[in-house]
Structure formats: structure tokens, C-alpha cells
Chain A
Amino acid sequence: MDQHVRDAFTESVDTVRLVIPPSSDYLRTARLVAADASVRAGLDCEEIEDFRIAVDELCHHLMSCSDNFVELHVVTTPRAVIARGLAISRAGAESRVPGELSSLILAATTDHYEVANRGDEMSFTILKQTRRVLADRR
């Protein structure tokens, strides 16, 4: 993990926790929370759109593998927004890594993302920083 990504993870200010049923009907709820947190982090409208897309993609991924609730933590920092998703995998769920299309979307819309599986616990982390952070870094 790059230093700037580590930095972003240590600067958390506010965390919103959302627990939603594993149904795509609730993706909208997740996207709205993601959008609101992005505003607080100072992202512009394109960055917000990117973050919403990424959260939608990975929440959908967790929902598709779980019968339980999906827990979403959205952390705002002064310069970035971070989403962490957690879910317990359904017994026998086979597809526990995002597909090719999802990976393409995530690579295009986030500054950093990780998907992890530990036992039956699945999780993801997404980081989206403001352009000005990236500009400062340069």
C-alpha cells in the first residue's frame, strides 16, 4: 500500500455505519450514503460519481455472495473518503472475487481498492481522494 494511501487511512474524522439487507434494492441507499460522505470529504461531482460507482459495485459483490446483512462503513477525512464493506459469505457461495468487469470499473474509479476473504468473512476497502491531494502529491 502506498504511503499516501496509508496516510489517508490514518486521518479518519467521521464514520457512518450502514447495515443493509443483501438485496440490490438497497444499493441506492448505499450510494446515497457514499455520495453524502463524499461531499463532506470535499470531492467534486466527478469524484463523487466515481465513488458511488465503486461502492455500488462492491456492495453488489458482497450481496451476491451473502444471505446476511451487508455492513458498510463510510469514513470521511479532510481529503478523502473511504468505504469498508463487510459480509458473511453464504455457505457454498462460489464467486468471492469481483469479476473482470468489476475489476475494470474499480480500477477506473478508485485510487485504491482491496477485496479480502478470511474464512467466511468477505470485505472490501475503497479509497477515493480529492484531486487536490493527488496534485499536492505530485
Chain B
Amino acid sequence: MTHERRQPHDANSATNEKFVTYRRTRDRDLRNELVEAHVRLAEFLARRFAHRGEPLDDLRQVALVGLLKAVERFEPDRGLQFSSFAMPTIVGELKRHFRDRGWAVRVPRRVQELHLELDRTIATLSQELGRPPLPQEIADRAGVREEDVLESMEASSLYRLPSIDALRNGNDPGSAPAERLGDVDPEMDAVENRLAVGELLSVLPEREQKIVYLRFFEGLTQSEIAEHVGISQMHVSRLLVRSLATLGAHTGTVAEP
């Protein structure tokens, strides 16, 4: 890690001031400057989703759209760092991209279709209202019940931020996490802190790394992992227990399954 990244508190303040100015002026050039300043984060997250059947260039575009949305929505006075806010937004956009192609989530077709319809409704309403809509507003516009809106949100499975550490299990040799992180964004410290977890997982056999990753970083249930890996849920449970015991022996700080 370079030390440019450990750093400049001033850079955060300067970025924050730009966001404050942008919130006030909505100046297009300033928006573009903010997007460009964080493009490495979008690139980094796009690569995180590479090798899943979608061209990297497409993923870069999707991640940039997510970044743009994050810049538009970011409220600097809420005390968050922009990267903390932007990461879930960009990842959500990437997941939505996969989901719209039918890969990420197995949900009933009716719910899938409803979700796609509601996504469009939310986008339209957000634009019309200048704010995110309330569920009742979405339901009224789409002609469905409020419960259907909540069910659709549940089906989206956008509620887990995947770990950056997943890179270590990816199929992208020659791109170590540190290399991917770039060398200038001062807001990436939080990401760096988690790379240590990736190092820790490397003590496990490959299949157990995958199971631990799916359970703790992707948030899959044991049953979902069982289906994914092609073994029984009980076997997943046993492997998790064994894996965590191994990890615990190395650190003494690992969660139970």
C-alpha cells in the first residue's frame, strides 16, 4: 500500500466541499469532476463482478451509472464519506444489471416481472417527484398493493454488500487487490482494512473458502450455498463449522456459522 492513500484529511474536506457546492449549484462540470475523481472506485467494483458472463466494458458502464447516481444522491452533511455511500449504490446497480438478465436471483416469475415493472415505476416517480417515492406512491402508480411492493423489494436481494475480498477468489490472475485499488483515492482505507480477511481465508481449502465467502460475504443461507456448491445443507453446515474452527485457531475472532 502506498502512503498517498493514508491520508490527506484535507482531500476529504476538499471533496466534501465540492459535494456541498454541487448540491447547491447542480453545476454539470462540477458533477463531472466528482464522477471523474471517483472513477477508480467504479472500475474497481466493475472488476469485482467480472468473469460472470458479462463483458467488462458493459460492467464499467453500469458501474459508472451507479457512480453517477451516487454523486447525484450524496448528501455530504450526513457525515458519511462518499465512498461509503457510493459503494452500495454502485454494487446495487451492478447486481440489478445481472438480475435483469435473470442470473442473480431465483424468484417466482410473477415477482420478477413485478420487480422489473416496479423498478421502472420507481425510476419514473423519482424523476417526477425529485425524491425517492413512498411505497404507497409506487403501489398507486403501478396498480398493486403496498404488500406487493415490499415483496418485490425483498425479492430483489440487493441487501448484501459483497466483500471486496471476493477478489481473492476471482478468476482474474495478476490483479492483486492492492493493484486494483489504485493509488490515490484517500477514501479506500476501509477497503484496505478488509483485505486482511482475504489473507485469512487463504488458509482454507478452495471449496471451504468458497463456502465461507458465500455465507459471510454474499450472505447466502446454508441451503442456498448447498444448492450452489452441489452438496447437502448438512454438509455445508459441517464444513462451515470446520472452516471457522480453522480460522478461529488462526485468529481467535471468527464468527460461528
* Known pairs A35-B150, A42-B134; A25 contacts B122 (CB<8 A): no
Q: Are B219 and A60 in contact (CB under 8 A)?
A: yes
Q: Are A49 and B158 in contact (CB under 8 A)?
A: yes
Minimum CB distance partner of B125 in chain A = A45
Q: Chain B residue with minimal CB distance to A107? A: B84
Cross-chain contact B132 with A45 (CB below 8 angstroms): yes
Q: Are B88 and A108 in contact (CB under 8 A)?
A: yes
B207-225 to A contact mask, C-beta < 8 Å, 1/0: 0000000000101011100
Q: Is the CB of A39 within 8 A of B146?
A: yes
A38 vs chain B, min Cβ distance (A): 9
Inter-chain contact A45/B138, CB cutoff 8 Å: yes
A24 in contact with B158 (CB, 8 Å): no
Contact of B256 among A48, A90, A109 (CB under 8 A): A90
**What's the Cα separation between A87 and B89 when bound, in Å?**
31
User: Digit string of B160-191 for contact with A (CB within 8 Å is 1, else 0)?
Assistant: 11010000000000000000000000000010
Chain A proximity of B79: nearest CB distance (Å): 9
| Secondary structure class of chain A's binding surface, majority of residues | helix
CA distance A105 to B159 in the complex (A): 10
Main DSSP-derived SS at the B contact region: helix
Q: Is there contact, CB below 8 Å, between A138 and B150?
A: no
Q: Which residues A74-131 have CB closer than 8 A to chain B? A: 90, 93-95, 99-101, 104-105, 107-109, 131
Most chain A CB atoms below 10 A, which of B87, B135, B190, B254: B135
Chain A residues within 8 Å of B87, by CB: 104, 108
Say which size band chain A's interface belongs to.
Answer: 35 or more
Q: Does A65 contact B (CB under 8 A)?
A: yes
Q: For the complex, give the distance between the alpha carbons of A48 and B133 in Å.
A: 11
Q: Assess the A108–B146 pair: CB atoms within 8 A.
A: no
Contact B132 A65, beta carbon cutoff 8 Å: no
A39 and B256 contacting across the interface, CB-CB below 8 Å: no
Query: Out of A31, A93, A99, which one reaches B159, CB within 8 Å?
Result: A31
Known A94-B248, A138-B77: A53·B153 in contact at CB below 8 Å: no
How near does chain A come to B257, taking the closest CB pair, in angstroms?
Answer: 7
A131: B residues at CB distance < 8 A:
131
Q: Is A4 an interface residue (CB 8 A)?
A: no
Residues of A within 8 A of B25 (CB): none
9 A-B pairs, CB-CB below 8 angstroms? A24-B222, A39-B134, A39-B146, A45-B133, A64-B255, A64-B256, A64-B257, A99-B255, A100-B194
Binding site for A on B (CB under 8 A): 73, 77-78, 80, 84-85, 87-88, 122, 131-136, 138, 146, 149-150, 153-154, 158-161, 163, 190, 193-194, 197, 217, 219, 221-223, 248, 252-257
Given contacts A44-B133, A52-B154, A101-B163, 13 further A-B contacts (CB under 8 A): A39-B135, A45-B153, A48-B150, A48-B153, A52-B159, A94-B248, A94-B255, A99-B255, A105-B88, A105-B161, A107-B84, A108-B87, A131-B131
- Sort A-B residue pairs by CB-CB distance and give the 7 closest, nearest first: A44-B132, A64-B255, A95-B255, A46-B132, A24-B221, A108-B84, A53-B159
